Chain A
Amino acid sequence: MYKRLIYEAALEWVPYAAFAITVVIFVTFVVRAFSLRKESAERLSRAPLDD
């Protein structure tokens, strides 16, 4: 596996790996962001204006 990783073009799996990592990150944080309570999001978003 390791040698293949280094010496082969790896065209057949690198795009999938990159896409999978990105999707996992996006989905995870979209879910987390949208599960943030509304009042928390509003309070946080006003932080710069609370001066």
Chain B
Amino acid sequence: MPNAMTTTASVKTTIEFNDKVVRQFMLASIIWGIVGMLAGVFIASQLNFHQLNLASWLSFGRLRPLHTNAVIFAFVGNMMFAGIYYSTQRLCKARMASDLLSKIHFWGWQLIIVAAAITLPLGLTRGQEYAELIWPVNVAVALIWVVFAVNFFWTLARRNEPTLYVALWFYIATIITIALLYIVNHLSIPTSWTHSYTIFAGVQNALVQWWYGHNAVAFFLTTPILGIMYYFLPKAVERPVYSYRLSIVHFWSLVFIYIWAGPHHLLHTALPKWLQLLGMFFSLMLWVPSWGGMLNGLLTLRGAWDKLRTDPVVKFFIAAITFYGMATFEGPLLSIRAVNSLSHYSDWTIGHVHAGAMGWNGFMAAGLFYWLAPRLYGTKLHSLGWANVHFWIGLVGILIYVGSMWVSGIMQGLMLNATTPDGTALVYPNFIDTLTSIRAMMGFRIVGGSLYLAGMILMGVNIWLTIRRGSPVNETREVVIERTQQDTMGMRETFINDPVACGCGALLLTFGWFFLPPGASLVSLICAIIFVGLTVKRFRQGHQTWERWHDRLLANWLPFTVLTFVAVALGGLIQIIPTVMVNRAKNVEDRIQQVYTPLELAGRDIYVSEGCYNCHSQMIRTMLPDVLRYGDYSRLGESIYDHPFQWGSKRTGPDLAREGGKYPHSWHYDHMRDPRLISAGSNMPPYPHLFTEKFDQKTLWRKIGVMTQLGVPYPAMTDTEVKTRAIEQGIQIAKELEAQGRPGAMPDTKIVALISYLQKLGKYDVPEIEERARNTPQGIPFPLKPAVPDDHRPSTSVK
């Protein structure tokens, strides 16, 4: 409890910080980090040894989301909360506003992680990367995030320090942006307690998903960690940040620019090209703020570089910031379309994200915990030597991992894209050849990951022994309360004034230029220019007071938060709104996907549930090697009814966009039972459970109802009709399987439903213009067909 002492000018009070919640989050991060990385090493081993796919719930497709979610949300999430709770209290010179909210936040977050750890191996997923959790868990995440936000902003409002240090800005940006991203990307309609369909489909879904996915990296794995860097690095090296001014430029430029870069995950796809270009250009621009921030961090060590030799905390921090610089150099590089054509779908991207997650996030976490643990338990670190050993084996582990993934990705990318000198055929038409060639690199991946995991375990033991020799300490501090100095800037004063009004008018008129018909759009453009002029004029008229507007804004949390929200919302909305409004089936003049039958829809849900998207894409890019290998490039309309889209981001196996009709049912039947019977050298898991488990008939009618609600043109059907149609199609497939020498397949099993879905892939209604073009004489390359398709997976069943 605060011990108040009144003076004539101000009030002095003693504050006891809530360090218990910091300790809890720190320990949770270490435990979940080890679990998440153990899952990572295990799935890396599965890529080499398919025998490790021991059961359906231990298969690669189900465990890979567990690994990514554990590392992102459990390891980095808990670490971020530990850092935020510790630094916010010190920077605000105030205890967290509510112990209850802190407690709810901690335990709620752990329950969410446990729920994820149970549901993901059970195959309960939304089928979108880093957004796999089912809707009840999504609701819990949103609620717990609100609890965190209320606690954080309430603390800001009660702070005993007039200014807002730059670390707090990064935390503010994290809280509001993640809320925005998470809610929009998880908008779904439930079909049961464990299943839902996203409201976005196909290209819309792809854009929103990667707006979320990319900015989860930006605002979950980067901005809060930068805040932690700006607070803990100066403390560790005992000198202020190199340039506070540079940190201002770093923050605003990062927040404004990062949000636009999401489409770089969709280069060469059916995403409209203007969006691809925006994503690429803004990614390139990100070099500047990212490197500004990195240099600001590294130069903070000026005059104290000797600490790098002696202090493991500084070692971890500086290596982490260096990895931040490397990853933020590599990210824009991979966003260049030409580079992306080589790197995308390959292990190069995997190497890139692990440089970020293990190097930047993991090493920042290690530095943070080695710094925090002795202070939170009032003792010395158990062993500095062990911390140094952790640093070196972790570093060697990352380098082996990232290096092998670079080699693997570049090698496989080059092989997949290689064409004969005349450019009409593939040099390596058999996908398996490219997979076999990178097997050695996959082995190094296990070595690197294991070394890194060993370092994490060593840290866990070191910190556990540190805890045992000390006892929990809650820091107390005497602070002076001068509340009149802070938060003097009201919302009205900040936003309701002439320049802001004119600026908003200019923005609205710019939208008019986009949306209005030709004549009116020109008028709107002219008016927008006039309003920009008015904004500048008003701005200059009020120069005396306006000059300090920004300085004051930086010390007033509410208007600052609103401005940050506007910055991140604008970039997202300008990209998303046109796509959501226009890219719909009714507006598409090109090919339109055929609607799935009830059985095919059930099969698609199985495909999603098994996590097939983790290894197979459904997007043939507008690139010659892709077209030669897989067939005609994918059109925007060909996934227009896919809730969720399944374009994928990695090809451990071949693309499946045109898989339908390529092989007989028996091929898929055998392939699912034992992939190596069909493709010698394949590392795909077998799926024996699909042959005995029944597909879901109970909620199928409800699922079709939700699809209809979302705009998929299903005819009206009763529950019985849905089931009857599904079973009738199942019987037909079972009969065809029997005719192909595979008797005994039950029409209501998952394998039959999955085969029906796979055979539907790439089926579309042919537009009139393409129908005409099909009658053109030989030699005209439309529609382009692969000269040597990806048919080199020999099967005894293929006649």
Contact = CB atoms under 8 A, between A and B. Distances in A.
Interface of A: 1-2, 5-11, 14-15, 17-19, 21-22, 25-26, 28-30, 32-37, 40-49, 51
B281 A32 contact: no
B274 A1 contact: no
A9 B551 contact: no
Contact of B582 (A6, A10, A37): A6
B514 interface: yes
B797 to A, nearest CB: 44
Given A22-B253, A51-B90, 9 more contacts: A9-B274, A21-B260, A25-B252, A25-B256, A44-B165, A44-B244, A48-B232, A49-B235, A49-B238
Interface string B494-518: 0000000000000000000111101
Nearest to B283: A18
Contacts, number: 119
B396 interface: no
16 contacts: A1-B513, A1-B515, A2-B515, A5-B274, A6-B272, A9-B277, A18-B285, A21-B256, A25-B256, A28-B252, A35-B550, A43-B163, A47-B91, A48-B232, A48-B234, A48-B241
Interface residues of B, number: 50
B231 A48 contact: yes
Contacts of A14: 274, 277-278, 281
Interface of B: 87, 90-91, 161, 163, 165-167, 230-232, 234-235, 238-241, 243-246, 248-249, 252-253, 256-257, 260, 272-274, 277-278, 281-282, 285, 288, 477, 513-516, 518, 521, 547, 550-551, 578, 582-583
B91 A48 contact: yes
A41 B620 CA distance: 52
B243 to A, nearest CB: 8
A1 to B, nearest CB: 5
Given A22-B282, A25-B257, A29-B249, A47 B274 contact: no
Nearest to B571: A21
A25 B578 CA distance: 23
A43 B87 CA distance: 17
B578 A6 contact: yes
A18 to B, nearest CB: 4
Contact of B167 (A9, A34, A48): A48
B514 A2 contact: yes
A44 B163 contact: yes
A22 B288 CA distance: 10
Nearest to A34: B245
Contacts of A6: 272, 274, 578, 582-583
Contacts of A51: 90, 235, 477
A10 B274 CA distance: 6
B82 to A, nearest CB: 16
A45 B278 contact: no
Among A15, A32, A37, find the residue whose CB has the most chain B CB atoms closer than 10 A: A32
Give the residue among B234, B274, B288 with the most A Cβ atoms within 10 A. Answer: B274
A6 B282 CA distance: 19
The main secondary structure of chain B at its interface with chain A is helix
Contact of A26 (B246, B249, B547): B249
A29 B254 CA distance: 11
A1 B583 CA distance: 16
Given A8-B274, A29-B248, A44 B234 contact: no
Contacts of A8: 273-274
Contacts of B273: 8-11
A46 B253 contact: no
A35 B287 CA distance: 24
Nearest to B273: A9
Contact of A33 (B163, B235, B246): B246
A42 B231 CA distance: 15
Contacts of B167: 48
Given A1-B521, A6-B582, A47-B163, A30 B235 contact: no
B681 to A, nearest CB: 40
Nearest to A24: B256
B229 to A, nearest CB: 11
Given A25-B256, A35-B547, A10 B90 contact: no
A7 to B, nearest CB: 7
Contacts of A11: 273, 277
A17 to B, nearest CB: 8
Contacts of A37: 551
Given A25-B257, A29-B252, A18 B278 contact: yes
Given A25-B252, A26-B249, A45-B240, A32 B550 contact: yes
A49 B90 contact: no
B644 to A, nearest CB: 22
The 3 closest A-B pairs by CB, nearest first: A18-B281, A10-B274, A45-B240
A35 B256 CA distance: 20
Contacts of B477: 51
A18 B246 CA distance: 22
Contacts of A5: 274, 514, 578
Contacts of A32: 248, 550
B198 to A, nearest CB: 22
Contact of B245 (A10, A18, A21, A33): A33
Contacts of B248: 29, 32-33, 36
Contact of B240 (A1, A21, A30, A49): A49
Contacts of A18: 260, 277-278, 281-282, 285
Contacts of A48: 87, 90-91, 165, 167, 230-232, 234-235, 240-241
Nearest to A23: B285
A23 to B, nearest CB: 9
Which one of A15, A17, A19, A44 has the highest number of Cβ atoms from chain B below 10 Å of its Cβ?
A: A44
